[in-house]
Amino acid sequence: MKTVWKTVCLIVLLISINLQSFGQKHPIENVIDLVSGDSIFNNIALLEQMERFTGDNNFVCVDHLISCFDNKGLDTIYLQNYTQGCLPNIIAVKYGTLFPDSIYVLGAHYDSYKSGAPGADDNASGTSGLIEVARVLSDYEFEKTIVFVLFSGEETGRLGSKAFIDSLVNSNSEISSMINLDMISYVNDGDNLSVSICVNNASVDLMNTYINSLTSYLPDLKYVADSTSMIVSAGDHSSFWSKNIPAIMLIDEIDLFSPNFNNYIHSNNDTLGLSANSKKLTELITKSVVVTMIDILQIIE
């Protein structure tokens, strides 16, 4: 009788454990849930008040962005000064534990198109999204290395990303791929939660990895791939294309003639609320980058 009772108790215990486990989220989902749209928009609000035109050489925004990276479990943070009179690139690295030479870049440009421009969607949004990805991922260890780069000089001819990629090529460092965040916070229609993926032939596999991650975990975020738009190469990702490195750009709308394209950019109306107007879209795109990076870098649990 005691044996039967012990067996019954064991069965009940196992059922209880399974019921507790059922409904628990996958660890990846737990990581994704750490992304905060409030955190991203708070940083956009700060950045649009700062001078970010490369030619002004004002370091207030640089100091702020360094502080955003600091104390986040990153291995190193440094500046890349490449041309006199230009703001530096800001670089933060999280080294892979098993394959540190396998390097993946996540980038966004922090400069605005002219002195005094708020640049909320273009590109305080991508900058703040990248910082949020770094905040979330820095608490974890990965097999491969991720390099977060905030580029200067994008609005003046992609000067920062060209200098960055040239320096790595000259040092024989190998970059496996790059994802660029450039304008991720505007919707013309509040229900139009969609991201445009700018891609070339060499980057199709990277795009497919991104799409698989997105559709698996974030079905509310729709996507459109584009390799033909007039501005498909108008971003820092194209500096990587020039070196035959797979790269994609994520943007709220790539079609210049679509009613969903943000016509507030490159104007004084590129402000939080009017131009950067969708916290939900910004959060979803940032989450899509987090889950893609986990897939690529291989999180160590």
Q: 268: how many CB neighbours lie within 10 A of its CB? A: 10
Cα-based angle 93, 201, 105 (whole degrees, multiple of 5) = 5
**Residue 4 falls inside a structural domain:** no
pLDDT value at residue 209: 98
**Residue 8 falls inside a structural domain:** no
Domain coverage including residue 160: 26-300
Residues 300 and 122: their CA atoms lie apart, in Å, by 34
End-to-end CA distance of the chain: 43
**Residue 20 falls inside a structural domain:** no
What are the φ/ψ torsions at residue 108 (nearest 5 degrees)? Answer: -160, 145
**Residue 137 falls inside a structural domain:** yes
Residues 107 and 109: their CA atoms lie apart, in Å, by 7
Residue-by-residue pLDDT tens, the chain, 301 positions: 444 444 434 433 433 434 333 333 448 999 999 999 999 999 999 999 999 998 877 899 999 999 999 877 899 999 999 998 899 999 999 999 999 999 999 999 999 999 999 999 999 999 999 999 999 999 999 999 999 999 999 999 999 999 999 998 777 778 999 999 999 999 998 788 999 999 999 999 999 999 999 999 999 999 999 999 999 999 999 999 999 999 999 999 999 999 999 999 999 999 999 999 999 999 999 999 999 999 999 988 6
Total number of domains in the chain: 1
**Residue 90 falls inside a structural domain:** yes
pLDDT value at residue 301: 65
CB proximity list for 227: less than 8 A, separation 6 or greater: 198, 199, 200, 201
Question: Where are any strands of DSSP class E within 152-218?
Answer: 175-181, 194-198
CB proximity list for 199: less than 8 A, separation 6 or greater: 206, 207, 225, 226, 227, 232, 248
Tell me the CATH number at 71: 3.40.630.10
Residues 5 and 235: their CA atoms lie apart, in Å, by 69
Residues 129 and 110: their CA atoms lie apart, in Å, by 11
CB proximity list for 258: less than 8 A, separation 6 or greater: none
Residues 115 and 16: their CA atoms lie apart, in Å, by 62
**Residue 131 falls inside a structural domain:** yes
pLDDT value at residue 39: 98
**Residue 118 falls inside a structural domain:** yes
**Contact present, 296 and 144 (Cβ < 8 Å):** yes
pTM of the model: 0.90
**Residue 81 falls inside a structural domain:** yes
